[in-house]
Amino acid sequence: MNIALIAHDEKKEELLKFVDEFKEEFAKHQLFATGTTGKKINELTNLPIHRFKSGPLGGDQEIGAKIANQELDAVFFFRDPLTAQPHEPDVSALVRLGDVYNIPMATNIGSAHILISGIIRGELKHA
């Protein structure tokens, strides 16, 4: 599966802990991430990960293009709902594309656990 990993600054540590917890499962898949998030995941886990630009510099849009081209199977996007994002239109567009193309997208730790459980059990139709 092709899986994207994204996190706003205030949620990066939470995503890092999550990916590290499920490192063995993530190692079975092709991973993509926005710049800083991908760098931190790679430094922590040594998992190979294709890094796009930082989210505010176009990384969200690059991942959105992969969704639009049906090249992603799942997205883990840990969003910070309490902090204004200068690139909010890009964030909204990314989430909208996920909905348009029916890509499973976890936007918080609760939904992330459900999504990773489905991936582990092989229950995703996009897999």
User: For residue 86, what pLDDT is reported?
Assistant: 63
Per DSSP, which regions of the chain are E strands? 2-7, 30-33, 50-51, 74-78, 105-106
- Global pTM reads 0.93
Locate tokens 């090249």: which residue? 71
Residue 127 — pLDDT band, cuts 50, 70, 90?
very low
Cα 110–chain centre separation: 14
Locate tokens 């190692």: which residue? 27
Phi and psi, residue 105, nearest 5°: -135, 120
Give 7-21 pLDDT, tens digit per residue.
989 999 999 999 999
Q: Which of 10-24, 49-63, 100-114 has the lowest mean pLDDT?
A: 49-63
| Tokens at 43, concatenated | 């430094």
Q: 55 a known binding residue?
A: yes
Is 99 in the active site? no
Give 56-92 pLDDT, tens digit per residue.
888 889 999 999 999 999 999 998 876 666 667 667 8
Architecture of domain 2-120 in this structure: 3-Layer(aba) Sandwich (3.40)
Amino acid found at 119: I
Average pLDDT on 37-52 reads 97
Q: How far apart are CA 102 and CA 122, in angstroms?
A: 17
Residue 125 has pLDDT above 80, yes or no: no
Among the listed residues 9, 20, 60, 73, the single catalytic one is: 60
Give the CA radius of gyration of the chain. Answer: 13
Q: 37 a known binding residue?
A: yes
Q: 92 a known binding residue?
A: no
User: For residue 93, what pLDDT is reported?
Assistant: 87
